[in-house]
Chains A and B, each alone.
Chain A
Amino acid sequence: MDSSLLFNLATLAYLVAMVLYISYLAFRKEGIGKTATIVTLIGLAVQTIALFLRWRESYQMDIGRVPLSNLYESLVFFTWSTVLIYLVVEYKYKTRAFGAFVLPVAFLALAFINVAGISKDITPLVPALKSNWLFYHVLISFLGYAAFGIAFAVSMIYLLMDTDDHGPSGNLFIGIGAIVVLALLGNFMASQGERLKTAFWMGLGVLVLAWFIYLISVGAKHKHQVFLFWSICVTMTVSLLIGMGIDSISLFFHPLAEGESFKKHLFEATFLNASAPVAIISWVAVIVLFWLIWSKGMGLKNLLKQYMPALDQLDDVTYRMIAIGWPLLTGGIITGAVWANSAWGTYWSWDPKETWSLITWFVYAIYLHARYVRGWKGTQMAVISAVGFLAVIFTYLGVNLVLSGLHSYGGMN
């Protein structure tokens, strides 16, 4: 038996568990919930065995390295830690309500690496990576990311449960208007060359940042705006996953030229497609999705209402996950720094990955200070937690996809 077969079995188990958790919410049968937990446990056990098998296989290939060294392995380990931490939360808080949100992420991440054509080979390590620090650095960092991931999922639930109604449709039209304008502007600027494309992304970044700060400072008073934020976060997560899925399918049929990187062609199959009709259809699809999520959000809330713990308990889960994740992130940054010092003689060189991990660290430090010292609770904290997880995603994937830096082993190809 080899590890890839077991990884596929684990993926399948998570798919079944995902369906079970969702039907648990829909049909309200205790038995379904119990089965979901058992299937998840089996999936986790199988994945654990697979991880060890892959480790052993690397020794059989005379390479002998920890299975935490490239994008494929890190994604696998990310899902493993997420499921593990989720099960701990389920046990501690005696609620299965989060399963329907966490398991889809675990399943989609595993499914994504299967279709995206990310290399699964056990490749040998370059000399700089041959260090015991590699193991600790990656292990600690990813456990932290997983805790933040759960904090994000719970904050998203919080924001949904926190909303009483979706507010005036004017908000929706403003949201859709913004997407349309940005889509047109983005497409136009991207067509004008690399320089304007960069400018577009930078401008978008500034806008988004301003919006975050607005929501964090006055979110509690403007819950309709926060619900808009929630709808956009959910729409984005879903459409990014779908967009990348379509990308990987199109790459399957039109493989890249030798040495060309996956990241240059991200979303070219959908949102950034050269053919205008395809791009327009993709953006319209996103808008329809956004409208669906925004208008059906309250229905989802009513469905979830009886399963979800009280708001302050959701707030507490988020805090606890961040209180676990932040020390782990700190440990991940520190082990990385000590390792860099033993390899290159510099513990900090401000390379994009390092800097982004520090930015993430700052965001969660803001969360902790706002909570402890300023006594913030609830809506705004959930928004900060969501923003923090966006920074995590950017640190983990965005830096490798969008920026260039030294952390080359995280690369897509």
Chain B
Amino acid sequence: MENQRGIIEIAADRVWKFFSSVKLAVVLLIILAIVSVIGTVIQQNESPEKYLAEYSQSTVQLFETIGFFDMYHTWWFVLLLFLLTANLTVCTLDRFPHALRIITAPLKPIDDDSLKAVPFKKEILFKGGMDKAEERAVKVLNARRYRYIESKSAGMTQFMTQKGVLSRLGVYITHTSIILIFVGALIGSFFGFKAFLNIPEGSASKVVYLRNEPMWDKLMSALGIAGSAVIPNPSGGVPSMPLGFYVRCDSFDVDYYISPLGQPTGMPSEFHSTLSVFNLDSQKILEKRIRVNDPLTHNGITFYQSSYGTVPEARGKILLNVRSKTSPDSAGELVAVDPGASVYVPSINRTIMALGFAPYGIRNPATGQVMFYQSQNDEYLNPTVEIEVYDGKKPVYKTYIMKTDAGQPYLPEGYIISYVGYWGTRYTGLQVTRDPGVWVVYTGFILLCIGPLIAFFGSHRKLWVRVQDRAGQAVVMVAGTVNRNRMGFEREFNIIFDEMSK
């Protein structure tokens, strides 16, 4: 038994030594730097057809086996990251107690023996005696904001002081932050998911479609311990994840940059969806207008505006706003009409008939003539509605209502009709994620911003000022050590010494 424990201990000791070496860290960093290049040269996660067009059959098979097509998620790459984290953790645990001892160690007077090892020291005969010399030392240290401890012994007074002792923590803060980021990323892949969801305007969903299943669920259901919440797709497609609530797309819209001539350029400036969240009993919980860079979060699940498109064959409702020309800033009346149908608008005592809808109309500013264009993917670059206005049964006039021209010039009567939307014909594309690890990662980020600054720009400086009585004359010696930035310390040391010897 004794012997066996010995072997285990030796093995544990070896493993610990292996992981606590900085050589390993440098080697791992070199390997990671080199290996990471591969995944940037070979396009990741493309379709097999694309790979076959680029590489030969055997190369594709070889790369597939090694995992070069999804390199950053292969077991060996994750293992490298894991080794680096283990290395960092062990290095930190190995060295931190020592650093802590240095940090908490009380300042001690320095004797002649230890003085030999001190890199910075200078001595001068002080004219004016012991008391004056001590006074001067106190003054100089105070002026330079060094808080000192005084120690007196026979014929000698020592002032001991240090600055920046906490800068020794910088490297540990940095390393801890990287460990945190790794742990946060693991939490994310175990308990979080990435999914997508396309919802047409006016529709709701209580599931999202998964890109990444939570590893924990996968593991637990594989081991038969607990069922996964994931609903598999019977036809072999993308599995879905229940949300525990409904999310509805109330409306969706795209704004385009307008050219100097007043026409839309076709380049989206912003797209946004108004989303509502309902609980499973259909009670509304919250509503938010999301846009790119401004998502909605509910129950730890976040919905990001990511894309959009047209619902094929959808019959939507044309939405128009009618308000008086005398009060153009008023909210006006919202009118909804099916394409081809008509609706009576009481506030102006007219019936509006929607004759048709086109996604991209342009009005010639000179002639007022309207032309229609094909837009890519049926984008609503400048949605245009042709309407006919009736007074009872009597047609009054026909006109086009466009998104860009806000209606005014082409409406002969005392009201403005403007375009609001063609509701129900487009879907909003949402990226959906749950990442419980993100706050751990963010904590790591914050520490990673602070740690290097402390480590690189702080330094632990120790100073001793010894005032010694040598045969009735005061001899002042200044001695100092620094763990970093020797040149900067040397400058400071010399200034202090010069002031001391004035």
Contact = CB atoms under 8 A, between A and B. Distances in A.
Contacts of B39: 350, 355
Interface string B27-69: 0011011101101110110000000001100000000000000
Contact of B40 (A128, A352, A374): A352
Interface stretch (A68-76, A270-278, A361-369): A361-369
B291 A127 contact: yes
Interface stretch (A225-233, A243-251, A324-332): A324-332
A330 B452 contact: yes
B231 interface: no
B433 interface: yes
Nearest to A358: B36
B26 A374 contact: yes
A347 interface: yes
B438 interface: yes
A369 B26 contact: yes
Nearest to A391: B33
Given A362-B32, A374-B26, A399-B40, 19 more contacts: A124-B265, A126-B268, A127-B270, A128-B292, A131-B293, A195-B54, A209-B34, A324-B456, A342-B294, A345-B304, A345-B431, A346-B194, A347-B438, A355-B36, A362-B30, A366-B30, A369-B22, A369-B26, A374-B22
A345 B194 contact: yes
* 3 tightest Cβ-Cβ pairs between the two chains A and B: A345-B433, A127-B292, A352-B40
B75 interface: no
B306 interface: yes
Nearest to B255: A127
A90 interface: no
Contacts of B445: 334, 337-338
B435 interface: yes
Given A337-B445, A374-B26, A356 B40 contact: yes
Contacts of B456: 323-324, 326-327
Contacts of B25: 369
6 contacts: A126-B268, A327-B449, A327-B452, A374-B22, A374-B26, A404-B43
Contacts of A334: 445, 448-449
B197 to A, nearest CB: 12
Contact of A359 (B37, B448, B457): B37
Interface string B432-458: 110100100110010011001100110
A355 B40 contact: yes
Nearest to A345: B433
Given A128-B293, A209-B34, A359-B36, A195 B22 contact: no
Contacts of B453: 327
Contacts of A337: 445
B295 interface: yes
A344 B431 contact: yes
Interface in B164-192: 185
B293 A343 contact: yes
Contact of B271 (A127, A209, A356, A374): A127
A99 B450 CA distance: 32
Contacts of B36: 355, 358-359, 362
Contacts of A404: 43
B26 A366 contact: yes
B269 interface: yes
B219 interface: no
Of listed B29, B72, B269, B271, residue having the most chain A CB within 10 A: B29
A338 B267 contact: no
A213 interface: yes
Interface residues of B, number: 52
Nearest to A395: B40
A342 B295 CA distance: 7
Interface string A69-98: 000000000000000000000000000000
B304 A195 contact: no
A255 interface: no
B194 A130 contact: no
B225 to A, nearest CB: 29
Nearest to A334: B445
Nearest to A216: B30
Nearest to B59: A195
A315 B115 CA distance: 29
A370 B29 CA distance: 11
Nearest to A123: B267
B404 interface: no
A202 interface: yes
Of listed A124, A128, A358, A363, residue having the most chain B CB within 10 A: A124
B22 A205 contact: no
A404 B42 CA distance: 10
Nearest to A387: B33
A350 B44 contact: yes
Contacts of B265: 124
A124 B34 CA distance: 37
A20 B32 CA distance: 44
A345 B432 contact: yes
A213 B33 CA distance: 12
A373 interface: yes
Contacts of B274: none
Contact of B55 (A124, A195, A213, A365): A195
A127 B255 CA distance: 10
Nearest to A339: B293
A5 to B, nearest CB: 22
A238 interface: no
A127 B269 contact: yes
Contacts of A63: 257
B487 interface: yes
Contacts of A205: 37, 41
Given A344-B304, A362-B33, A331 B269 contact: no
Contacts of A355: 36-37, 39-40, 72
A403 interface: yes
Interface in B280-329: 291-295, 302, 304-306
A330 B431 contact: no
Nearest to A328: B452
A157 B43 CA distance: 38
A162 interface: no
